[in-house]
Amino acid sequence: MLSGSRVVRRRLLNRRRLCCRCYSDSPLRPPQEWLEGKAVRGQWDSEDNSSEQSERPLLQRRRVFSGIQPTGVPHLGNYLGALRQWKLLHDSSANTKLLGDTKHDQFFSVVDLHALTSSDVPGHVRRKLRRESYASLMAIGLQNTQQTTLFFQSDVKAHTELMWILSTIASTGYLSRMTQWKSKLNLSDDADLHSDEATAKLKLGLFSYPVLQAADILLYQATLVPVGADQIQHIEFARSLARSFNSHVRSRPESSGNVFRVPWPALSAAQRIMSLKRPTQKMSKSDPDPKSRILVTDTREEIHAKIKGAITDSEPGISYDPEKRPGVSNLIDILRNVTSLSLAPEAIAKDLENMTMRGFKEMVADNICESLEGVRDRFEELMNPSNQTLNMEAEEGAKKARRVAIRTMRSVKNSLGLESFCASSNMWDREMIRGSDPDHATSGDFNTTIRYVRTNDGTADAIQEALVGVNKQSFPVDKPNTNKSE
């Protein structure tokens, strides 16, 4: 039998292996060689970049973008499905021994503009939900560092600006085949824009939601987007827009190559967590019963009470059968994910088959409490009105995100002949770009200029650090002037 202490030890032992389990082995997952920074030959490369080379070093940098809607405090399903992976990416990107010569960074956003497509929410409620969402991300251990940018989508106006530009090349036929707007309106999958029900309910914001999502990703030149299986369709749409835009600008005589990197989706390996009260439905904040979900800020007593009241069955022993025993199977999946056990759920159930249901639920609750230890205390500290840490962190994240967004928008506008004739606008852009972005790179007139900085290790190391940001696609780089430093 697998004891509670043994489960904890297994979780601690497997914590080091989590980085290898962040993403699934799905065909839509980037090759492992790419994740490790090695050269790779395959369909993703040849499909996205028209180049004479069929093999090239791909991962000189891995840049991740991911967002979460401001629904308030996340539940356990949100944490295991996405937020824990964010934390792992955040921690691993600062580990130079783990990364070697590669350079990884990530942009995590509270996508509050996307939330406007939902039902009407009073302003004071939306403000509270946004603050709770950002505080929750900080409470699980995320913060702005050289490698991580944590920000509100609405603080960076370039998101909506790029969305409009991408809308001019987005296909309404493609958008009409998207399933999300249909599911949001409770329409059948075969519904189209010609149906009276669709035209009566559908709003432009919901219909063009994937265009804004594509702008979110492409604005930061993301190479990897962790998503659930239901979002794969949207990532492929973003890839399609990136390819279309690159092809459009490459055809011009003055073109200097691609503007956008083409992102890859990465499926989370976490099993979907189901409702504690309706184990055939996924855990959701929209469920009217608060006992159906565990929030990351729940107290130990609340977690134990909710797991104790979770719907199971009267069959003796523990076994894994999602169809016949969905409640028990859901608790096994929760145990497996919070402890990061590499065993199959059937093997875990076999090890626990002689436990009583009461003992099993207590074990699950204990391990959930341990995995969320400290989150509630940090959250309450950040939500204290007298604590300005959250405000300062949001401001820092917005500044970092704007610097990258401005560079991308400058390249986009230049490629379309929309560069500004206003000296004040160009000067503001230069001032925003100058500073703390880890790339130390600015772009203008289709050229990428490396900004070199002094470091304790000397100029050569600073140049090497800057060069790792050069992407595989056609972003020309000026030759460094070793006689100057900034």
Average pLDDT over residues 253-270: 82
pLDDT of residue 20: 34
What is the amino acid identity at position 51? S
For residues 225 and 210, give the distance between their C-alpha atoms in angstroms, rounded to a whole number.
Answer: 14
Q: pLDDT (tens digit, 9 = 90+) per residue, 340-384? A: 888 899 999 999 999 999 999 999 999 999 999 999 999 999 999
pLDDT of residue 428: 57
How would residue 216 be classed by pLDDT, with cut points 50, 70 and 90?
very high
Q: Is residue 38 among the annotated active site residues?
A: no
Given a cut of 70, whether residue 420 has pLDDT beyond it is yes
pLDDT, greater one: 239 or 431? 239
Label each residue of the chain as H, E or C.
CCCHHHHHHHHHHHHHHHHHHCECCCCCCCCHHHHCCCEECCHHHHHHCCCCCCCEECCCEEEEEEEECCCCCCEHHHHHHHHHHHHHHHHHHCCHHHHCCCEEEEEEEECCCHHHHCCCCCHHHHHHHHHHHHHHHHHCCCCCCCCEEEEEHHHCCHHHHHHHHHHCCCCHHHHHCCCHHHHHCCCCCCCCCCCHHHHHHCCHHHHCHHHHHHHHHHHCCCCEEEECHHHHHHHHHHHHHHHHHHHHHHCCCCCCCCCCCCCEEEEECCCCCECCCCCCCECCCCCCCHHHCCECCCCHHHHHHHHHCCCCCCCCCCCCCCCCCHHHHHHHHHHHHHHCCCCCHHHHHHHCCCCCHHHHHHHHHHHHHHHCCCHHHHHHHHHCCCCCHHHHHHHHHHHHHHHHHHHHHHHHHHHHCCCCCCHHHHHHHHHHHCCCCCCCEEEECCEEEECCCCCCCCHHHHHHHHHCCCCCCCCCECCCCCCCCC
Q: Is residue 184 among the annotated active site residues?
A: yes
12 beta partners: none
Q: Is residue 277 among the annotated active site residues?
A: no
pLDDT above 90 as % of the chain: 53
Given a cut of 80, whether residue 46 has pLDDT beyond it is no
Given a cut of 50, whether residue 165 has pLDDT beyond it is yes
Given a cut of 90, whether residue 191 has pLDDT beyond it is no
pLDDT of residue 44: 39
Catalytic hit among 201, 285, 308, 350: 285
pLDDT of residue 17: 37
pLDDT, greater one: 431 or 142? 142
Given a cut of 90, whether residue 194 has pLDDT beyond it is no
Q: pLDDT (tens digit, 9 = 90+) per residue, 72-118? A: 999 999 999 899 999 999 998 877 666 666 778 999 999 999 999 87
What is the amino acid identity at position 4? G
What number of other Cβ atoms are within 10 A of residue 189's Cβ? 8
Mean pLDDT of the chain: 78
Catalytic hit among 201, 282, 350, 413: 282
Catalytic hit among 128, 184, 291, 350: 184
pLDDT of residue 419: 86
pLDDT of residue 174: 86
CA distances from 408 to 158, 186, 405, 448 (A): 9, 37, 5, 11
pLDDT, greater one: 230 or 172? 172
pLDDT of residue 398: 97
Average pLDDT over residues 2-31: 41
pLDDT of residue 422: 80
Given a cut of 90, whether residue 202 has pLDDT beyond it is no
Structural domains of the chain sorted by starting position, each given as residue range(s) with its CATH number in brackets: 59-267 (3.40.50.620), 290-383 (1.10.240.10)
Given a cut of 90, whether residue 280 has pLDDT beyond it is yes
Given a cut of 70, whether residue 320 has pLDDT beyond it is yes
pLDDT, greater one: 18 or 420? 420
Given a cut of 80, whether residue 71 has pLDDT beyond it is yes
Given a cut of 90, whether residue 400 has pLDDT beyond it is yes
